[in-house]
Structure 1
């Protein structure tokens, strides 16, 4: 099976589901799916959306959007035009690559480290399920009395350090652009 990047009908998908997964009509308000997942975990929806932009963001027609059928296999990002294609590629990758080297979906959940959250790997391709898990992980990483930025860093790298700091900085840039309404 060829696991190369597949980007055929992205525009058609975005037209079919504008209220759930496209960029919100107001730059400062994340799409409703992010709001629901964030509310359930008691986190700011903008934080969850900014994480998804960093993790699975894709430039399409001049706008950056999180893409639900994104895989990262051994450091290589792969974007698929359907859940079916992404699932087939995920199953193929899971047979050939160590699970801790595979990230899945909008929030790029790690197949190895997040085993407790799924019974079959393709479940992580469900946008709502993926966001719910990501929101709960982020919530667990927030410590009492601190803002969300350190938790964002620990979402990416629980041990902290330079990788967490760099990730935190990148997500913070998306947050700033969301707040200013300059995210395209």
Structure 2
């Protein structure tokens, strides 16, 4: 089946309001949440922690579709071809542990996630695989807060800090969805994504590349921009629980 670059289609069809690539991630994530019946806003919060950046044009903070994390460093790119070229350069040097896209899917730990690199950086394919992976994780945990931490790592100390960040972001993402429902763009996304098959899932593990501590990095040179996946979070984070979410959202 011929792959269709849905993010590119959305940029062409959806108009100026969708010229911000972060919105491509948000629409794809909303669609994936809906398809998989994942609590609204949870994947949005995960995406924000995984690939969040502040748009240089609008100042709005959100997930970014063309970002990679490898060798303890992350970089943002202006488009999919630039990100793909960077991944190929890394692979040419023998680097295999590479996180990709809106939801930072690791190409080594999830080798069957995508048919090719173009699909890895397509927001719909990336978000859909992440949704399927979350569902698999939650089948045994039955607690979305625990599942959110294990999306990143099953090592307790790593999962705990990550979970705190996701849960801190979640209420704001719920509020955002209420203020800005995907509406017509979500319908467009759904229509154009029908030809995209669900990827085969790898055995359940985690998406972490094992380099969590190295995500706080100086700005890297080259075509990409430095990524600290946890920087500039517009939420307060402390050592205590701060999330006032209904219990029905956390258990299933």
CA RMSD in angstroms, aligned pairs only = 2.8
Distance 1:115 1:77, change over 3 A: same
Match of 1:107 in 2: 103
Match of 1:138 in 2: 134
4+ runs deviating over 6 angstroms? none
Match of 2:183 in 1: none
Match of 1:88 in 2: 85
Greater per-residue helix proportion = 1
Paired with 1:91 and 1:82, the residues of 2 have a C-alpha distance of 15
Determine if the alignment matches structure 1 residue 22 to structure 2 residue 23: yes
Paired with 1:117 and 1:48, the residues of 2 have a C-alpha distance of 18
Structure 2 spans left out of the alignment, 5+ residues: 1-14, 177-232, 235-252
Relative to the length of structure 2, the TM-score reads 0.58
Aligned runs of 1:27-176 on 2, under 5 Å?
Answer: 31-60=26-55, 61-100=58-97, 102-143=98-139, 146-157=142-153, 159-176=154-171
Task: For residue 38 of structure 1, report the CA deviation from its aligned partner.
Answer: 1.1
SS at structure 2 position matched to 1:115:
coil
- Please say if residues 63 and 102 of structure 2, whose CA atoms lie closer than 8 Å, have aligned partners that are also in contact: yes
Match of 2:203 in 1: none
- Please say if residues 40 and 174 of structure 2, whose CA atoms lie closer than 8 Å, have aligned partners that are also in contact: no
SS at structure 2 position matched to 1:113:
coil
- Please say if residues 21 and 64 of structure 2, whose CA atoms lie closer than 8 Å, have aligned partners that are also in contact: no
Task: For residue 45 of structure 1, report the CA deviation from its aligned partner.
Answer: 3.5
Higher alpha-carbon Rg: 2
Paired with 1:80 and 1:20, the residues of 2 have a C-alpha distance of 11
SS at structure 1 position matched to 2:130:
helix
In the alignment of these two chains, the number of paired residues is 164
Residues 41-83 of structure 1: CA distance to partner in whole angstroms, max 9, x if unpaired? 2212401111110011001243211100011111211000011
Q: Please, which moves more after superposition, 53-62 or 114-123? A: 114-123
